[in-house]
């Protein structure tokens, strides 16, 4: 009769005993010398062996009520178990397969696991992060946005005069949003503007200098406000930083989520929006102009002006985050052609006159 060398724990102490395990019909017989050097014979009903734990060097079997008796042995025991008890559930068939197959199977399973995790990381986490970003409480979003704004303005050259008049211009437009919108104009020879979560919009002086009419500025602001209204900037940055955010959540570092986003505040300047988010912002921006009876051709003129500046290095940077410009021009033009109700807005005209006077002076 085959006897297998094992370590036996009686469940009463942490001491182990060198024992001999005999595999009989429906019963495991365990023989060992106790601390009094008396031979002890223990039987385990095979059907009551409740669980096992396996590793590449050690196998554990448990039996009885708590505190359970335990047997430790080498993986070679599986060959004997498979021979004596081919139908018993305690035999880990997957482990037997891996043990018999060797390193190639283990490597294959490891690579498969890595591939699955990579798929989750690149294809599941980004949309999940974007979805979760949309659920962040507005109060927290505005606090985070203020932190990002202050970080980005630390070394920026703010144009106080233009900032005042562009905000005055903004007061005469109903942007159809509950967010408190505030504009900051900075002196930069770059055609760009970007939205920050919570209501802050940064406009570069160069893009204002290039504009020819108030409708273009209204279109630009309506577009950026739409990004804020739909939380596009927060969703996009969460998507691009989803891996870092996932690790923060995984390790329970909730405050780290805000820290990761805040530390990447500069990313909002050249943030890439997906095609669907840009389309959504364009659509709402057009609705804002229609609601305020401002010509929607402001969008058409703004996009055409951007297109003409394509060869400019700074403009290429701006266009890289605003793809498919021809399609956007075509779409906004079709919408603008159907607009019928336009109204004169003297307050808007006066603000625009001051803006153009200051931008030319700059």
pLDDT band at residue 260 using 50, 70 and 90 as cut-offs: low
Rg (CA), the chain: 35
pLDDT in tens, 3-50: 889 999 888 887 889 999 998 888 889 999 988 889 999 999 888 887
Res 313: pLDDT: 43
pLDDT in tens, 311-358: 444 444 444 444 478 899 999 999 999 999 899 999 999 999 999 999
The domains of the chain, with CATH numbers, are 3-101 (2.30.29), 130-361 (no CATH)
End-to-end CA distance of the chain: 100
Query: Does 96 score more than 60 pLDDT?
Result: no
pTM for the structure as a whole: 0.62
Res 131: pLDDT: 62
Length of the chain: 362
pLDDT band at residue 106 using 50, 70 and 90 as cut-offs: low
Question: Distance between alpha carbon 262 and the CA centroid of its chain, in Å?
Answer: 15
C-alpha distances out from residue 251 to 245, 256, 304, Å: 10, 10, 48
Angle separating helix axes 214-229 and 160-171, nearest 10 degrees: 80
In angstroms, rounded to a whole number, what is the distance separating the alpha carbons of residues 245 and 256? 8
Res 76: pLDDT: 77
């Amino acid at each position: 009769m085959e006897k297998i060398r094992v370590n036996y724990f009686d469940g009463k102490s942490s001491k182990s005993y060198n024992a001999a395990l005999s595999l009989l019909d429906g019963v495991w017989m365990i023989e060992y010398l106790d601390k009094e050097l008396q031979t002890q014979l223990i039987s385990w009903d095979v059907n009551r062996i409740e669980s096992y734990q396996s590793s590449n060097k050690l196998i554990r079997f448990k039996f009885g009520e708590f505190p359970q008796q335990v047997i430790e042995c080498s993986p070679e025991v599986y060959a004997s178990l498979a021979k004596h008890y081919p139908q018993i559930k305690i035999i880990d068939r997957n482990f037997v397969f891996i043990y018999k197959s060797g390193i190639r199977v283990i490597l294959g399973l490891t690579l498969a696991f890595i591939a699955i995790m990579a798929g989750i990381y690149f294809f599941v986490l980004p949309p999940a992060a974007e979805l979760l970003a949309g659920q962040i409480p507005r109060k927290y979003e505005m606090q985070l946005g203020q932190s990002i704004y202050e970080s980005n303005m630390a070394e920026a050259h703010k144009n106080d005069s233009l900032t005042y008049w562009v905000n005055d211009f903004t007061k005469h437009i109903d942007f159809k949003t509950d967010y408190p919108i505030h504009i900051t104009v900075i002196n930069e020879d770059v055609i760009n503007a970007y939205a920050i979560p919570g209501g802050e919009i940064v406009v570069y002086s160069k893009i204002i200098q290039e504009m020819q009419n108030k409708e273009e500025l209204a279109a630009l602001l309506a577009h950026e406000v739409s990004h804020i209204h739909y939380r596009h900037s927060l969703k996009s940055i969460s998507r691009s930083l989803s891996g870092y955010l996932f690790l923060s959540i995984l390790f329970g570092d909730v405050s780290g989520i805000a820290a990761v986003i805040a530390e990447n505040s500069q990313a909002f300047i050249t943030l890439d929006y997906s095609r669907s988010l840009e389309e959504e912002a364009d659509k709402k921006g057009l609705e804002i102009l229609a609601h305020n009876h401002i010509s929607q051709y402001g969008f058409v003129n703004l996009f055409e002006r951007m297109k003409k500046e394509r060869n400019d290095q700074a403009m290429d940077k701006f266009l890289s985050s605003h793809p498919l410009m021809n399609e956007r021009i075509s779409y906004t033009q079709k919408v603008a052609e159907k607009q019928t109700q336009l109204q004169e807005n003297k307050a808007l005209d006066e603000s625009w006159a001051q803006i153009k006077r200051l931008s030319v002076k700059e």
